[in-house]
Amino acid sequence: MTFNFKKLTISDVVLIEPKSFNDDRGYFFENYNELNFNDYGIKTKFIQDNFSFSKKNVLRGLHFQKNPKAQAKLVSVLKGKIYDVAVDLRKNSSTYMKWISEILSEKNHKSLYIPEGFAHGFCVLSDTAYVMYKVNSNYYPEFDSGIIWNDNELNISWPTSEPILSIKDRNLLSLKDQDYDFNF
């Protein structure tokens, strides 16, 4: 197998580290392999790749799509370094309202698998970051939603107290003011 899959404290979120082949020319690794992911139990069918470029201290999120258009994501960093966060929004889950974070970078080549029913966001730690993520559902504006980055109930330990936010992200609601129906 060309990947090391690691279950995190929220067990449905998986940290994925590829086997990297290095020599004096550089390196090569697989970022995704459907067969290996299926063998591990991640049977998500990804249908779209998204790409973002962001500057240091940009915080994107916490985003999710409501049912029936919820999205699973596989987040990877092509260049730079990010603090990546997933929040469990599945109301009957033992980890409901818990969050997890991981550092993803061009150097560690790690990816984070985030299943449906989670909010996702990241903060850029390097001067710039190129982030790519696979999703299993198209974007539907009418199902688009999110939680304000500094929600008091979640109390996420972001690496900056003054993030650079989009207008959309500045105006997101708190978790308690959300209407969503994710169940575990």
63 is catalytic: yes
Does pLDDT of 1 surpass 70?
Answer: no
> What is this structure's pTM?
0.95
**Percent of the chain clearing pLDDT 90 (strictly above):** 93
Per-residue model confidence (pLDDT) at position 184: 60
pLDDT at position 180: 79
User: Known catalytic residue: 27?
Assistant: no
Choosing from 32, 133, 139, 180, which is the catalytic residue? Answer: 133
**Residue 39 pLDDT greater than 90, yes or no:** yes
Domains defined along the chain, listed by start? 3-177 (2.60.120.10)
The pLDDT value recorded for residue 181 is 75
Given 40, 63, 140, 180, the catalytic residue? 63
pLDDT digits 0-9 by tens, 49-61:
999 999 999 999 9
- Least Cα distance to 44 among 18, 82, 70 occurs for 70
Phi and psi at residue 39, to the nearest 5°: -60, -35
Residues whose CB is less than 8 angstroms from the CB of residue 1 and which lie 6 or more positions away in sequence, other chains included: 19, 36, 39
